[in-house]
Structure 1
Amino acid sequence: MSNKAKVISALFLSLMLLLAGCGSNSKSSSSGAKETSKESTTTALKHDKSELVVGLDDDPPQLDPHFSTAAVDRQVFHSIYDTLVDVDEKLNFVPALAEKWEISQDAKTYTFFLRKNVKFHDGTPFNAEAVKFNFERMMDPKAGSPRASELSSIQSIEVVDENTVKVQLSKPYSPFLAALSDRAGMMVSPTAVKEKGADFANSPVGTGPFKFVSRVKQDKIEVAKNPDYWGGAPKFEKITYRPYADENVRLTNLTSGDVDIISKVPPKDVEKLKTDTNLKLSEVGALGFQGLYLNHKKAPFNNKALRQALDLVIDRDAIIKVALRNTAVPSAGAIPPSSWAFDKTLKPTKKNIEKAKKIMADAGFPSGFSFTLQLPAKPVEQQMGQMIQSMAAEAGIKVKLELVEFGTMLDNMDNFKFDAVRLGWSGRTDPDGNIFALYHTTGSINYGYSNPKMDQLLEEARVETDQAKRKEIYSQAAKFGQEEVPYIFLYHELDYKAYKNNLQGYKHIPDTMMRFQDVSFK
């Protein structure tokens, strides 16, 4: 699979739909997330406090962070690997493997001061040479790492001493720290990579709070406590990650007592979980977006008028009310309300059938057009697909729905074997990770859209270090995007995590990734 197909996995599939939510009966938790009060008890609690069982929305395709693109992979990564930089509940950058860092006045030199005496799970030392190896591995054009684009601004890497690394950029790159708080900053063991080669992903080695033990695909991934972890030994002896692509099965395993926490909650079950006294339902504003990817390399969506027409036939409010049970907000662009770069003056496109018909007629399509919409075989996705199909028909646009297995869908996108695909993007802590990736000609989740004006705006935003000025540039790009319609935005979701109320210490981070080092059972 090529870089672009891999990166699209991070898209969060349709299952990010299940994250969408707005609870009205909520109160603030200590982590800054919202947790609901309960009235009745339905969930069984287990007694074994040495093992945490995590229910994932799917089976992680890839356990090597440098080649991963699926969001679900990252749920496991935070146990096995550490990043150079991390984020807290407010998305502030905080120390991780790098105790501190300095940025030069021209914003082109980053000096990282690393933690001392940190070891990889194989006993080899984590040091400046290891950081250099990791960066060079991701940047190697022959490797084909999806991380290469995130590190493309690096001009040179200097090992100053055993615990100091100096990274020289060719030009300022404002999202650099944000990239290092994600997979581009996850450090793997150089020794293990050299020894295992392509098999590294099957037995990964990091510096994280848990060590990889075993994996049975489509069944479970097991990790065990790293007693020598630099941040202090974790509370659990082991964590078992189990994939449940079926949302009903995932929820049943939580309420039956077999699973302790689930990564995603179906919108239809949000209200029900609020009444379970043995569960906590936590929500935070997520960073991504949901909508329709369009193939710009062929008809019909290489025609801007037809993209605009499709955008105009969709009633986002109706989709949110019916399919998502009022657990989302309409989307106007790639930057979510939770981001500092969000422009509240930018409003979502409103349904306007007559305008859509006129645009099509003026473009030579008075009778409309047809296309195939690929989507995962999930209940919420199917319902939303049917709603889009019905809405489009009002303007004479014929939509054929095709249910496709997720891996096949990614391959189709990689090879441009699609008209439109119902997928979203998990989002990044820096807005560049959303809007550049989607709109720039070289963007990792761009499927053929290219406009020099858009490219120039996004390139300017990358080198601008003043946040207020960056926001202005992103607003211009977002408004231009509404006219160009490279992607059909539908909604922004909230992230829900549901877990047993005897679980303590869990912090709900807006990047939606679960971290368990400080978590335990009461």
Structure 2
Amino acid sequence: MPSRRHRLLPLTAAASLTLLTLTACSTGAAAPGPDAAPVEGGTIVYAHQQEPSCIFGGWIEQAYISYQVLDSLFSLDEDGEVVPWLAEEWEVSDDRLTYEITLKEGVSFTDGSPVDAEAIAYNFDYWVEGGNSTAAVWLGGYYDRAEAIDELTVAVHLSRPYTNFIQNLTQGYFGIQSQEALETRTDEENCAAPIGSGAFTVEEWNRGQNVILARNEAYTSWPANAQHTGPALVEKVDWRFVSDPTTRVAALQSGEADLIYDVPATSWQSLDDAGYTLEKYVTAGRPQQISFNTVQGPFVDEDVRKAFAYALDRRTIVETIGQGVIPFEGNGAVSQATPAYSQAAADTYDYDPAQAVALLEGAGWTEVNDEGYRVKDGEVLEALLPYGAGSIINTDGASILQAVQEQAKAVGFKVELLPLSTAELWGGKYSTPDAYDLSVGYWTAINSGILYINWRPSTEENPNYSNSSFYADAELEALILAANSEPDAETQADLYAQAQELIADRATSIGLYARLSTLAVSPGLRGVWQENAQGGPTFYDAHFVE
């Protein structure tokens, strides 16, 4: 029998330069006053840096845009608390294995079909059966089944307790789609224009250029932490894909775009001085970090991994290139924005090139060739580091990796940086132990439960492609599993901290910098906010002023 009911009380709501010559609604940085009158309607021109393969899916770039179209069961407020969206309340059983979720009444998808318990249960099964890879790994190892109890009550059954289960559902990967659309339309149709109950619908997708989002005039299911009620305030959002950061900044400054994503560190201060509103969200979860291949190549040796960590003055690199905008992050497991963060793990490796040299020589890398690289048994100490150029790693990140390459060379590592296109990155070629020595990347999350995704041992029966170090350790897995199921917050935090410290002690991953979601917004546009689960832009409350 369910024993704990959680009533979710609503909160009080008060490409190219050619492409960018299309009509925008702002006129640069001429700032209206604080009491400027709102303008009804209009089209927001938004310059984003990457184009996804589908409007929804398992990549954060897909979650950002699907968040405008697909409502979720829950939203996350600025204090990290779960608040209503499509769901009104939830109840958990005594054994913490069944969650009964009660839905709002009278909500429909934009195809007219009902947002009911059957549709919600269908979405859970759809995710784990391949409909969304990231939703699937968040549910993996815990999800058993979902069933409609009645029209507005869905029961989600877990195979073992997961304390942060409801909180995890606030991520954009868990946007709810029309069951009717998923069952009757083709995968291609749902990819290009998924049917949700959200504030906007996909009107048109011009591949390589933009997506036009149109206001859902019948919108009734805003989240409790929204700033108004009713349909969205603007008529449309012109979501453009502009990969070059200089072009995005120029478009904002000229008034050709109303706001831009991924603000370069070099432009931050000048945009601030010019009166643009700057928003910076440090994403929780795994930061931008370097993982070591622990099963093949030079980093099988723990001392060589530690030598690489000691060789780098990571803080100076990030603070110099990041110009005070990009935060340094020493923890390779979770970022400082993540609950249960361990500072001890972050502080494990200070810059100590002498210690790096001593470890390398102790590991047998005693010779140095004419180029300054260390040699052992005739083999150069080489390390291949592929990275997603312009996708996982932006321009600032690429500069940070180049500085890492230079500092590692000073103690004898030959690091080869290999920039990959998006197709190459996701194609699978660089995902196996024989494909790289070092890996760089992030994984956004709300809590330290991300540790299970990134460190669960991979087996032939249940491979884990998110374990980029290929590290398997029974003690680490036991700590993470115990933390995920622990109901006491203080005990849970301690278990997660122990896991982070083990990861640091074994030198399987080292942090570089916090992964950011940044916006620069013209003064004439108000009400844009970054949702609190992943930091994506939210346009439901956005409006122009004059």
TM class by smaller structure = 0.7 to 0.9
* Among candidates 429, 435, 448, match of residue 431 of structure 1: 448
**1:336 — aligned with what?**
335
Q: Counterpart in 1 of 2:214?
A: 224
> CA shift at 1:476, angstroms?
0.7
For structure 2, the 5+ residue unaligned runs are: 1-12, 14-26, 33-38, 223-229, 368-373, 375-380, 459-463
In structure 1, runs of 5+ residues without a counterpart are 1-30, 32-40
Deviations 1:92-134 (A, max 9, x none): 1111111111122332221100011111111111100101111
Match of 2:437 among 415, 419, 423: 419
> CA distance change for structure 1 residues 213 and 95 in 2, over 3 Å: closer, same or farther?
same
- Structure 2 vs 1, CA of residues 282 and 184 (structure 1 numbering), >3 Å: closer, same or farther? closer
- 482, 488, 491: which one pairs with 1:460? 482
Flag the 1:250–1:148 CA change in 2: closer, same or farther, 3 A: same
| Contact in 1 for aligned 2:408/2:414 (Cα 8 Å) | yes
Correspondence list, 1:233-272, <5 A: 233-272=231-270
Secondary structure at the residue paired with 2:430? helix
Cα 1:175–1:45 change in 2 (3 A) is same
- Aligned twin of 1:92: 81
Cα offset, 1:391, TM superposition: 0.6
User: Is the 2:214–2:236 Cα contact (8 Å) retained in structure 1?
Assistant: yes
Pairwise CA distance, 1:81: 0.3
Match of 2:29 among 43, 47, 65: 43
Partners of 2:134 and 2:467 lie apart in 1 by: 13
Give the CA RMSD over aligned residues: 2.4
2:466 to 429, 438, 445: 445
Tell me, what secondary structure is at the counterpart of 2:195? coil
- Preserved CA contact (<8 Å) 1:44 1:255: no
The Cα offsets for residues 374-394 of structure 1, whole Å up to 9 and x where unpaired, read as: 231654233222211111111
Bigger mean CA offset, 143-152 vs 245-254: 143-152
Per-residue displacement from partner, 1:207-261 (whole Å, max 9, x unpaired)?
A: 1100111112221011111011113211111111111221111111111111112
Q: Are 2:348 and 1:355 aligned?
A: no
Alpha-carbon separation, structure 2, partners of 1:239 and 1:252: 19
For 1:102, what is the secondary structure of its paired residue?
A: strand
Partner of 2:378: none
Report the CA distance between 1:401 and its aligned residue: 2.1
Do residues 202 (structure 1) and 197 (structure 2) align? no
RCO (CA 8 Å, sep 6+): is it higher in 1 or 2? 1
Residue 285 of structure 1 pairs with residue 282 of structure 2: yes
Decide which of 313, 321, 329 is 2:319's aligned counterpart.
Answer: 321
Q: Which amino acid aligns with 1:517?
A: Y
Conserved in 1, the CA contact under 8 Å of 2:29 and 2:523? Answer: no
Q: CA deviation at 1:138?
A: 1.5
Q: Deviations over 1:148-184 (max 9, x none)?
A: 2222312232211100111121211122112211245
Q: Is the 1:81–1:187 contact (alpha carbons within 8 Å) kept by the matching residues of 2?
A: yes
**CA spacing shift, 1:183–1:144, aligned 2, 3 Å:** closer
Residue equivalent to 2:3: none
Normalised to the residue count of structure 2, the TM-score between the two structures is 0.82
SS at match of 2:134: coil
Distance across 2 between alignment mates of 1:158 and 1:193: 18
1:396 match = 412
Residue type at the aligned position of 1:99: E
1:519 aligns with 2:519: no
Aligned-residue offset at 1:444: 5.3
Residue 472, structure 1, aligned to residue 470, structure 2:
no
2: CA distance, partners of 1:150 / 1:346:
24
SS in 2 for 1:146: helix
Aligned to 1:6: none
Contact 1:131 1:187 in 2 (8 A): yes
Q: Is the 8 A contact 2:110 2:196 kept in 1?
A: yes
Equivalences, count: 477
> Which of structure 1's runs of 4+ aligned residues deviate more than 6 A?
44-48
Q: 1-side partners of 2:158 and 2:301: how far apart?
A: 38
Q: Does 1:364 align with 2:361?
A: no
Residues 521/379 of structure 1: CA separation in 2 closer, same or farther (3 Å cut): same
Q: Tell me which amino acid in the other structure corresponds to 1:259.
A: A
**Per the alignment, do residues 238 and 144 of structure 1 end up closer, same or farther by CA in structure 2, a change over 3 Å counting?**
closer
* Superimposed CA distance per residue, residues 357-400 of structure 1 (whole angstroms, 9 cap, x where no aligned partner): 22222223234311122231654233222211111111111112
Please report the TM-score for the alignment, with normalisation by the length of structure 1: 0.86
- TM-superposed CA distance for 1:77, in Å, is 1.0
Structure 2 CA distance for aligned equivalents of residues 294 and 242 of structure 1: 36
Matched, 1:146 2:134: yes
Give the drift of 1:340.
Answer: 2.6
Per-residue deviation at 1:423?
A: 2.4
Would you say the 8 A contact 2:318–2:400 is kept in 1? no
- Summarize deviations over 1:171-214 as a string: whole Å, max 9, x none: 11122112211245311111111222321202211111001111
1:58 partner amino acid? Q
Distance 1:167 1:285, change over 3 A: same
- Distance in 2, Cα, partners of 1:267 & 1:144: 33
SS at match of 2:280: strand
Deviation (angstroms), 1:295: 3.4
Structure 1 position 273, deviation (Å): 1.2
- Counterparts of 1:60-209 in structure 2, within 5 Å, are 60-64=52-56, 68-140=57-129, 145-152=133-140, 153-199=142-188, 200-209=190-199
The answer to whether the 8 Å contact 1:253/1:259 transfers is: yes
Shift of 1:322: 2.0
Over 3 Å counting, the alpha-carbon distance change for 1:172 and 1:400 in structure 2 is same
- Which string of whole-angstrom CA distances, capped at 9 and with x for unpartnered residues, describes residues 411-469 of structure 1? 333345233233233x2112112x22222215552121211111111111111111111
